[in-house]
């Protein structure tokens, strides 16, 4: 069975007063997602790209079962873990070791099993040297890795990262990408929601684009480079490949 099968999903929200009329509003409803279907194979690393408001986070919540679609179905073949955009919101423990243990403890696993899961999550995320540091003293990249360790310890095989590069400095981005490489090598199914293709497209094999709640592209990561990404509100990673300073101007 495939890791994720999304079948004809639509998600409507009631329109709140004052929302300007636009093409996503029909009969008093705002269509955050319109008839989305996609399948993701086991072990794939998929980038779901789209401008702000294109529906990435809503789609993620539905795949993870946090929200129901208005229409359509989702099937997954393993536990789905979410790493939220703001890692601070996901970190509950005083230290990484304590934080990672929260999920397994809630699952009422044995002490030995909890210990084993915490240890393997620390190793996979490269946080073993930080295990007993105050969680608030971790860098942005370490916090994001800690949030990932938490879902790994709950045995998630499918992991969705919502805007993993938001507010990350260069070392943070490198740490996250090294983690992605390890998770991919470990056979996990990874879904990255972002518009920052220059940071992740080379790690992935699948590329999907959402625009205004619709799936407008679904193909291989390499084929993304020949797309007119700017038409969907996404910066082309090669557009400003720098040879001189003037090349760097985003206009």
Q: Applying CB under 6 A, does 55 fall inside the site for ligand ADP?
A: yes
Q: Applying CB under 5 A, does 57 fall inside the site for Mg ion?
A: yes
Cite the beta strand spans of the chain per DSSP E.
4-14, 25-26, 29-40, 45-49, 71-76, 80-83, 158-162, 189-194, 206-211, 214-220
**Tokens, residue 201:** 């497209």
Q: Applying CB under 6 A, does 167 fall inside the site for ligand ADP?
A: no
With CB under 6 A as the contact rule, the residue among 13, 134, 185, 230 that binds ligand ADP is 13
222: which residues sit within 8 A by CB, 6+ positions away?
none
Integer Cα distance of 147 and 172 in angstroms: 14
Nearer to ligand ADP, 50 or 172 (CB): 50
Nearer to ligand ADP, 57 or 125 (CB): 57
CB 215 within 8 A of CB 50: no
Nearer to Mg ion, 57 or 189 (CB): 57
Q: Applying CB under 6 A, does 52 fall inside the site for ligand ADP?
A: yes
Q: Applying CB under 5 A, does 54 fall inside the site for Mg ion?
A: no
Q: Applying CB under 6 A, does 56 fall inside the site for ligand ADP?
A: yes
With CB under 6 A as the contact rule, the residue among 57, 125, 189, 204 that binds ligand ADP is 57
Integer Cα distance of 10 and 237 in angstroms: 30
Residue nearest to Mg ion according to CB distances in the complex: 57
What is the DSSP-derived secondary structure letter of residue 67?
S
**Tokens, residue 18:** 């004052």
Q: Residue 62 binds which entry of ligand ADP, Mg ion, none, with Cβ cut-offs from 5 to 8 Å by kind?
A: none
CB 9 within 8 A of CB 34: no
Provide the binding-site residues for Mg ion, judged by CB under 5 A.
Answer: 56-57
Provide the binding-site residues for ligand ADP, judged by CB under 6 A.
Answer: 13, 30, 32, 50, 52-58
């Amino acid at each position: 069975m495939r890791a994720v099968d999304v079948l004809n999903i639509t998600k409507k929200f009631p329109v709140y007063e004052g929302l300007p009329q636009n093409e996503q509003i029909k009969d008093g409803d705002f269509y955050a997602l319109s008839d989305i279907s996609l399948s993701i194979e086991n072990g794939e690393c998929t980038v779901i790209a789209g401008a702000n408001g294109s529906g990435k986070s809503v789609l993620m919540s539905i795949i993870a079962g946090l929200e129901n679609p208005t229409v359509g179905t989702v099937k997954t073949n393993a536990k789905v873990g979410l790493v939220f955009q703001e890692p601070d919101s996901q970190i509950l423990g005083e230290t990484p070791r304590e934080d990672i243990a929260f999920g397994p403890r809630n699952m009422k696993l044995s002490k030995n099993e909890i210990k084993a899961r915490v240890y393997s999550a620390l190793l996979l995320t490269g946080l073993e040297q930080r295990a007993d540091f105050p969680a608030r003293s971790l860098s942005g990249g370490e916090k994001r890795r800690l949030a990932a360790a938490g879902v790994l310890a709950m045995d998630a095989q499918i992991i969705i990262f919502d805007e993993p590069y938001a507010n990350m400095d260069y070392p943070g981005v490198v740490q996250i990408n090294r983690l992605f490489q390890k998770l991919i090598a470990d056979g996990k199914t990874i879904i990255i929601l972002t518009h920052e293709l220059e940071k992740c497209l080379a790690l992935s094999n699948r590329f999907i684009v959402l625009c205004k709640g619709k799936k407008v592209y679904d193909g291989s990561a390499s084929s993304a480079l020949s797309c007119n990404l700017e038409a969907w509100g996404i910066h082309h990673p090669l557009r400003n490949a720098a040879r001189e300073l003037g090349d760097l101007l985003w206009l």
